[in-house]
Amino acid sequence: MTHTWQITTVDDAARARIAAARIAAAHGVSTVERTRLVTALSAQLRQCLVKGGSWLLTLRTAAPPKAQCPGRLTVTLDTEANRAAKRPSWRVSVGVPEPGHDEGDRVARVPRDRAAFADALLSADEDTSRVLDRLTEQEQLLAFHREELHQTNQGVLALHAELDAAGRVQRELFGAERKARTEAESARRRLTFLADASAALTASLNHEEILSRLPGLLVPDYARSVDIWLFADDDKSRKRTPRPAAAVVAARTGRPQYAADHAGGLPGVDDQPPSALRPDQPLLCIPLPTRHTPLGVVTLTPPRDRWDADDAVMLVELARRAAIAIDHAQRFEHNRDIAETLQRALLTDLPPTPGLSLAARYLPATHGLNIGGDWYDAFRQPDGGLVAVMGDVTGHGLHAAVMMSQLRTALRAYAVDGGTPGRLLTRLHVFLHHLQPDLYATAVIARFHPDETTVTWAAAGHPPPVLRTPDGDVRVLDAKPGAMLGIPLHQEISDHTAQLPPGSTLALYTDGLVERRAQGIDPGIRRLTEALSAENAADLDGDLEGAADRILDPMLRDSQRDDDVCLLLCHIGDTAKPRIPEQTSPGHSA
């Protein structure tokens, strides 16, 4: 559809403008697009009227190429001269949403009446009014959204401030957590070290060994150097080593001292001037406390510039535990020396006897106080017989040693009145039961008499004697023994006899020689018989002491030495050549 208008006057331009607006409205062009079209056309028509002449306005509606696509509304303004010269004309176009709806002829007619014309001219600006109203609404909406955006921005800024504050708090919390974790790890490390060091110090009962272990525990993590001043050792030494003044103060006051050219700030530690012996090094002097007076002072130099307060507290605690360990070790060593001296005094020398050689070995257990209830003894009776005894009181320590001495003394007293081994053990059983009801013992007694070719023996809960005959045959005298001494049971212990030709050897021993926890006692007795059988008859007759050592050596190779070991060899020789036993060395018996 095409419409044309000849534009010569203002009225022609106004009517063309009105017609263009109506046709665009009839084809469903939006208000905004119509306003743009009419505004552009008005501006161009104004220029045409200024230039003058006759202008041709053409409004053409083009159908869309496809039914689904909108059409186009094209407005062209040109003159005959431009068209003849083929110069470009002014043109504007808009999309047509409803190309099928065309009322061009009706809407394009603009009335000639002046009143109607004026009304049509004024109504042509309704689109502009609508656009302005719409623009006002959009401006209000924009102002609303601008305010809303401003409020949102304020909220976002506030949220960012809160997030920043929360971030700072979280970083502070993370920092505090890392610090707490580091402190907890340091505390755990100190506690672990303190526990391990305490275990290492208390594992020994030798105070010299404890003193040698302490520097190895502290260097290099907690000290660069360690000097231990033990008062007892210093009293024994002829030349005393100079000590720092802070160490002397620590010894006198019993309080830790810190000597340096600056304050230490260590809890529970007094500050002192720098030491004249080591003016360039800080010193931490910690006493080794006991219940009464300090045992000594430990002087430390720091591994770095100075000690941490928690490390200083830990070092003071370690010194206290070291002092306890040293004190216990010294007490143990003192008691052990007393006990060993007592036990050696109780093990008397073997009496010389014509025709009978005796050799004894006593080895205390390597654990504990090194004393126990094992004992051996040999003494003569008024009728000329000799009694050899091997006994074992249950338990270890001073109590067992004291009870052993009482049994030994009681047995000697009973033997003065005479009596066979069985009778002596029976009386000893009654004595022990009344003296110490909760203590038990085992014993074996062998009696030799120069007028007899037999040995009389009796046992009470003790390992059986082993007899080697002159031809090298070895047998165990395993006749039924009596029960242990001291048990709440009435018993009469029987005597047993065995032939004892010249050249025979009888071995008495305690269970510490033959018993092993994993094997029992029988394999040990078999090993003893083999060792005794392997001895040469001439060696037994000429060197019984050496034979005792040779028998002990293979028997003790697999022993843990957790029990006392006693061995007594009784060898029958030529009665014409009496033998006096040699004195045993301190390494063998007491």
Of 399 and 548, the one with more pLDDT: 548
The torsion defined by the Cα of 559, 565, 571 and 577, in degrees rounded to 10, comes to: 120
> At a CB cut-off of 8 Å and minimum separation 6, what does 36 contact?
94
pLDDT of residue 358: 94
Q: Mapping DSSP to helix (H, G, I), strand (E, B) and coil, where does residue 39 land? A: helix
* Cα distance between residue 385 and residue 398, in whole Å: 32
Choice among 332-341, 363-372, 395-404 with the minimum mean pLDDT: 363-372
Cα 468 to Cα 527: distance, rounded to the nearest angstrom: 14
Q: Return the HEC string of 46-109.
A: HHHHHHCCCEEEEEEEECCCCCCCCEEEEEEEECHHHHHHCCCCEEEEEEECCCCCCCHHHHHC
Amino acid of residue 571: H
The band of 576, judged by pLDDT with boundaries at 50, 70 and 90, is: very low
Find out whether 514 and 536 touch, Cβ atoms under 8 Å. no
Residues paired with residue 506 on neighbouring β-strands, in sequence order: 467, 570
**All domains of the chain in start order, with CATH:** 2-124 (no CATH), 204-341 (3.30.450.40), 347-572 (3.60.40.10)
CB 215 within 8 A of CB 278: no
Give the C-alpha distances (Å, rounded to integers) separating 583 from 23, 349, 546: 150, 7, 12
At residue 568, the pLDDT reads 95
Residue 518 has pLDDT above 80, yes or no: no
Structure tokens at 351: 């009496």
Q: What is the SS3 string spanning 399-425?
A: HHHHHHHHHHHHHHHHHHCCCCHHHHH
Output the pLDDT for position 463: 94
Cα dihedral 380/381/386/387 (nearest 10)? -100
Chain centre distance of CA 233: 37
Instruction: Check if the beta carbon of residue 283 is closer than 8 Å to that of residue 299.
Output: yes
The helix (H) or strand (E) run that includes residue 571 is strand 565-572
Interatomic CA distance for residues 122 and 258, integer angstroms:
107
What pTM did the predictor assign?
0.54
β-sheet bridge partners, residue 90: 77
Task: Give strand pairing partners of 322.
Answer: none
Among 495, 494, 521, smallest CA distance to 392 is for 521
Question: For residue 52, what pLDDT is reported?
Answer: 84
pLDDT of residue 560: 63
Q: How many CA atoms lie within 13 A of 138 on its CB side?
A: 6
H helical segments located in 459-499: none
Angle of CA points 97, 99, 100, to nearest 5°: 130
The pLDDT, as a whole number, for residue 442 is 94
CB 260 within 8 A of CB 282: yes
Instruction: Report helix angle 309-346 to 207-218, nearest 10.
Output: 160
C-alpha–C-alpha distance, residues 289 and 249, integer Å: 14
d(C-alpha 284, C-alpha 269), whole Å:
9
- Residue 197 or 22, more confident: 197
Q: Would you call 55 helix, strand, or coil by DSSP?
A: strand
Strands 257-259 and 270-272, by their bridges, are parallel
Task: Choose the weakest-confidence range: 9-13, 206-210, 545-549.
Answer: 9-13
Which residues have C-beta within 8 Å of that of residue 363, sequence separation ≥ 6? 552, 556, 561, 564, 565, 566, 588
Q: Which of 149-163, 300-314, 336-350, 355-369 has the lowest mean pLDDT?
A: 336-350
pLDDT of residue 5: 86
The per-residue pLDDT for 583 is 36
HSE of 541, CA atoms in CB hemisphere, 13 A: 15
Dihedrals φ, ψ of 246, to 5°? -65, -35
Average pLDDT over residues 559-564: 69
Residue 589 has pLDDT above 70, yes or no: no
Question: Rounded to an integer, what distance in angstroms lies between the CA atom of residue 352 and that of residue 354?
Answer: 7
Radius of gyration of the chain (CA): 62
Split at pLDDT 50, 70, 90, the class of 280 is confident
Sign of the dihedral defined by the CA atoms of residues 493, 495, 498, 502, in that order: positive
- Under DSSP, the state recorded for 390 is E
What percentage of residues in the chain have a pLDDT greater than 90? 37
Mean pLDDT for 132-146 is 85
Q: Check residue 585 and give its pLDDT.
A: 34
Mean predicted confidence (pLDDT) in 178-185: 88
pLDDT at 503: 92
Please give the torsion angle defined by the CA atoms of residues 153, 159, 163 and 168, in that order, rounded to the nearest 10 degrees: 90
- Say what the pLDDT of residue 359 is: 94
Percent of the chain with pLDDT over 70: 86
| pLDDT, the chain, mean | 84
Peptide bond into 220 cis (omega under 30): yes
Instruction: Examine the pLDDT at 517 and tell me if it is beyond 90.
Output: no
Q: pLDDT of 83-136, one tens digit each? A: 777 777 888 888 887 654 545 566 666 666 666 666 666 666 777 777 777 888
Q: What is the pLDDT of residue 579?
A: 41
Lowest-confidence region among 63-67, 295-299, 535-539: 63-67
* pLDDT for the residue numbered 290: 86
Q: pLDDT higher for 59 or 508?
A: 508
CA 391, CA 408: separation in Å to the nearest integer?
Answer: 9
Phi, psi of 88 (to 5 degrees): -65, 140
Q: Is the omega angle on the peptide bond into residue 501 within 30 degrees of 0, that is, cis? A: no
Per-residue pLDDT averaged across 343-355, rounded? 78
Three-state DSSP class for 350?
coil
Contact 450, 383 (CB under 8 A): no
Is 458 in contact with 425 (CB distance < 8 Å)? yes
3-class SS of residue 167: helix
Q: Identify the pLDDT of residue 109.
A: 67
pLDDT for residue 580: 38
CA distance 247 to 285: 5
Helix axes 126-202, 309-346, angle to 10 degrees: 20
